[in-house]
Amino acid sequence: MENTVTDMEVKEMEKTAIDPSQIKGWGVDANPENDPTYPMKNRNNGEHAGYSWERPTQQPKSVEVLHSNERPNVSAVFGTSTPPSGLSGLIRRAAFKYSENSYAHWLPLMLADRVGIAEGVLDDLTHGHVPNIFAERGWKAEWKHNRKNLVTRVAVGVVLASVAVAYLRSRKGDSEAKE
């Protein structure tokens, strides 16, 4: 049996007022006498006054700036050194169509970071520059200060790559045997 909600039920739910005191976790800090941060925080009631600073002058947009769909506009100041471009830019634009509380926002952004690394290496190679990946990844400092972790990561990478190569070769052998 499938649970479905009709349009009438949705309209009824929208009319219903929500009582935050009946929802577990909501309003836990509303009563200053029952403040869970009491031993760590010295209250002065200044935070109840809200922001008292004036918003900085809006920085002009000279490049495309992606911002959360939960905000009506961009923040007053933002970075412009690396505007979205290429495949990673397409992935970022798609990610910013989703709310920040969604995996559909954060996972594509992480993927776009990895794609951006590959785009950077390809860009270097197309301009005749061979990137020093070891230096750019900080492996010299890692070798000096965290050798065990570096060796572990390299060993795991070698094992995973070996397993992938062995798997692909076995599949190739299986497909050739069938022919």
Residue boundaries of the structural domains of the chain? 82-131, 132-179
Q: What is the pLDDT of residue 167?
A: 92
Contact 59, 40 (CB under 8 A): no
Block residue for tokens 């952004």: 109
Dist CA 106 CA 90 (whole Å) = 14
Grade residue 90 by pLDDT with cuts at 50, 70 and 90: very high
The CA–CA distances, whole Å, from 117 to 112, 120, 126 equal: 9, 5, 14
**Chain segment 23-42, per-residue pLDDT in tens:** 776 766 667 676 666 566 66
Grade residue 70 by pLDDT with cuts at 50, 70 and 90: confident
Q: What is the pLDDT of residue 128?
A: 93
Grade residue 162 by pLDDT with cuts at 50, 70 and 90: very high
Grade residue 104 by pLDDT with cuts at 50, 70 and 90: very high
Residue 166 has pLDDT above 70, yes or no: yes
Least confident range of 35-39, 67-71, 106-110, 115-119: 35-39
Dist CA 106 CA 108 (whole Å) = 6
Contact 120, 148 (CB under 8 A): no
**pTM of this prediction?**
0.56
Contact 71, 90 (CB under 8 A): no
